[in-house]
Amino acid sequence: MIGRVDPFIGTEVTDLPPQTGLAATWWWPKPQIGNTHPGATYPLGMVSACAYSGAYPTGYGRYDLSLEGIPPLLHERHLASGFAHFQQSGTGAIRKYYNYFRVTPMIEPLDVLGRTWELTDEQAEPGWYSGTLDSGITAELTVGPKSAVHRYTFPAHSKARVVIDFSHGGLSIPYGATIPVRAHLECLEPGVASGEIVVEGAPLSVYIECDNPQWRQMLWYDRRLMPGGTRLDFDHIRPTTLRPFGLMWAGPSEEGQTIELRIGFSLRGVEQAKRNLEADCGTGPAQFTPRREQTQKVWRKKLKGITVRTPSAARQTVFSTALYHALIKPCLAPSESPFWPTDGPFVFDISTMWDIYRTQLPLITALMPERAVELANAMITISEEEGNFPIGYRMARGATVSRGRRVLWPTPSSPTCASSACPVSTGTGPWCTCPTTCAAPTVRSSWCTGRRIRSATPSTSRSDTGAPRRSPGMSATGPSSSSSSPWPSAG
C-alpha cells in the first residue's frame, strides 16, 4: 500500500471531464480541490512539515481562498518562502492555519527573508518530503510524533544561511495571518537553541539542534543581526508592533554540503520539547535517515490495515492515498495539554465532528482501536475540563461547541411522531426513529427520521420565561451558527 500512496493527490484542482449539457449548469457548493498538502506526516501525529507558499488552506500550493467551484490562483507556479510546521489537511475555512517556525535555507542576504523561490523537483512519500528551490538548495523533511528533522543540501557559497522565523504563522490571504502575542528565544550553546511563542492562546515551545556548530549562530530582529545577543523576550506583541524575529546559522558551504536541523515541539515548555526530541530522534548528529526510516515503518504498518485488490494501478493509488489522508488527522499529543496540568490523552485538529463521526472515526476504530480509545478519552477530558463536548477542537484556546438552542427537547405541545412506539412520543428519549410521517403538519416528515425533532413554531421553541429551551446536558454557550438549515447539528 505505501508504494501506491501519492501525497500530491488533492493539492491540485480535481481532474474532471469538460462539463457539457445539463452538467454545464451545475453549481459546485464545495471547491473542486482536496485542500491537502504533500508534506511529511506521522500517523495521527502532532507534527507535520511542508514547503510554505502562503496558499489556502494548508500553506502549500498555488490557490487562493475558495469556498465553491474551481479555486482562483494565488501563484502561477509552485513557490516557497521556506518550510513550515503544522498544517491543516483536507479542511476549508478552519480559521486556524498554523505554519509556525518557518525555516528558510538561503544564500541571499537576510534582508530578502520572506521572498519566494520557485519550487521544483518535488517528491513525497508517507513521512518524507523533498523539493529544490531555484537558489539551488534542496530540502528534505521528515517528522516523528512530536518532532521534525530538516536536511538541506547547499551549493558552494561563501554566505549560506539557515534562518528560523519565530514570528511567522498563518496564510497569505486576507485575515489569514497568525500573530504571536508573546515570545521568548535563547541560544543555549553552539548548535543548540530553544524558544516559545504564544499563538492562538496556546504556548508552543521548541528545542532546536543544528549539526553545524562551526557556522555562526545569531539572533535577529527586523531582519537585522544581533551580534553577541543570546536572548530575545517579547511580552506584548500586537500587529502594529510586530517585526520579524528569530535565529539563524550562517557560514560558508561547499558543493553538496548538508546541514541537518532537528526540532522538538511541546505545548508544555522547552524542557518537555527537549525530551520529545530525544524520544523521537535520540541524541547525537545525523538523525535524519533513522527518523525517516522509523516513520515510514510506522506508516507501512498502518497502511497494511486495508488491502486493495484491483487490476487498475490508478484505483490502487486513489484508494491507498485516501487511506493515507484519513490517518493524518486528528493530532494525538499525549500529555501535551497546555490548558490543564494533568497528564493523559490530548487531541487537537478535530475538524469537525459532524464531518468525521460517521466516516473517519469508525475507520480509526477498526484499524487502530487503541488510538480510538485514546481519542475518546481525550475528548471526554476536554469536555470535563472545558464544560462542553466539542464539535471542533484545534491547537488553540477554546473549542467549537454546539449551541443548545439549535436542538430542542420536545415538550407535550411539540410535534411528535405518529408512532406510539417512538421514543419522542413516549418521552423516553430525544430521537425519532419513525420511518414514515410526523403527526404535526407543520413539520416535514423527513425532519424527524432518525433525528431530533425540532419545533416549527415559536411557542414551543422557548420556555415560559422566553429563554431558549435546550435538551438536558447541552450547553447554551459557545459561538452561534450562521446556518439556517433546519437540521440539528450532529454534536
Domain membership flag for residue 39: yes
> What per-residue confidence (pLDDT) applies to 473?
33
How would you list the strands of the sheet with 117-125, edge to edge? 79-80, 117-125, 128-133, 138-143, 147-154, 257-266, 202-210, 192-199, 182-189, 231-234
Write the CATH number for 168: 2.70.98.10
- What pLDDT sits at residue 402? 54
Residue 16 lies in a domain: yes
Indicate whether 451 belongs to any domain: yes
Neighbours of 420 (CB within 10 A): 7
Same domain, 286 and 169: yes
pTM above 0.85, yes or no: no
Of 381, 401, 421, the one marking the end of a domain is 401
User: SS3 string of 13-68?
Assistant: ECCCCCCCHHHHHCCCCCECECCCCCCECCCCCCCCEEEECCECCCECCCECCCCC
Which own/partner contact pairs does 414-418 have at CB distance under 8 Å and 24+ positions apart? 414/453, 414/455, 414/460, 415/439, 415/440, 415/442, 415/443, 415/453, 415/455, 415/456, 415/460, 416/440, 416/453, 417/448, 417/453
Is residue 85 one of the residues assigned to a domain?
yes
Q: 349 and 453 share a domain?
A: no
pLDDT one digit per residue (tens) for the chain, 491 residues: 788 999 999 999 998 888 899 988 988 888 999 999 999 999 999 999 999 999 999 999 999 999 899 999 999 999 999 999 999 999 988 889 999 999 999 999 999 999 999 999 999 999 999 999 999 999 999 999 999 999 999 999 999 999 999 999 999 999 899 999 999 999 999 999 999 999 999 999 999 999 987 899 999 999 999 988 899 999 999 999 999 999 999 999 999 999 999 999 999 999 999 999 999 999 989 999 999 999 999 999 999 999 888 999 999 999 999 999 999 999 999 999 999 999 999 999 998 888 899 999 999 999 999 999 999 999 999 999 998 888 999 999 877 765 433 333 333 334 445 555 555 555 544 444 454 444 433 333 333 333 333 333 333 333 333 333 333 333 333 333 333 333 333 33
- Answer yes or no: do 436 and 396 share one domain: no
| Count of the separate structural domains present in the chain | 3
Domain check: are 78 and 183 in the same one? Answer: yes
Specify if 259 maps to a domain.
yes
Is residue 265 located within the same domain as residue 334? Answer: no
**E-assigned strands of 307-457?**
331-332, 347-348, 350-351, 390-393, 400-401
User: Is the domain of 231 the same as that of 375?
Assistant: no
The pLDDT assigned to 3 comes to 87
**pLDDT in the model for residue 487:** 34
Last residue of a domain, one of 401, 417, 450: 401
Same domain, 249 and 339: no
The set of cell numbers assigned to 130 is 523533498
Q: 6 lies in which domain range?
A: 2-296
446/345 same-domain check: no
Q: Do 143 and 71 fall within a single domain?
A: yes
In a domain, 318, yes or no: no
- Is 324 a member of any domain? no
For cell 550562517, the residue is 250
* One-letter amino acid of 169: G
Q: Do 236 and 100 sit in the same domain of this protein? A: yes
Q: How many CB atoms lie within 10 A of CB 205?
A: 22
Judge whether 176 and 97 are in contact, CB under 8 Å. Answer: yes
Place of cell 488533492: 10
End of a domain among 359, 385, 401? 401
**Same domain as 42, residue 159:** yes
* pLDDT given for residue 414 in this prediction: 40
Whether 258 is covered by a domain: the verdict is yes
Rounded CA separation 169/98 (Å):
6
CB 280 within 8 A of CB 146: yes
Q: How far from each other are the two terminal CA atoms of the chain, in whole angstroms?
A: 34
Q: Are residues 420 and 448 in the same domain?
A: yes
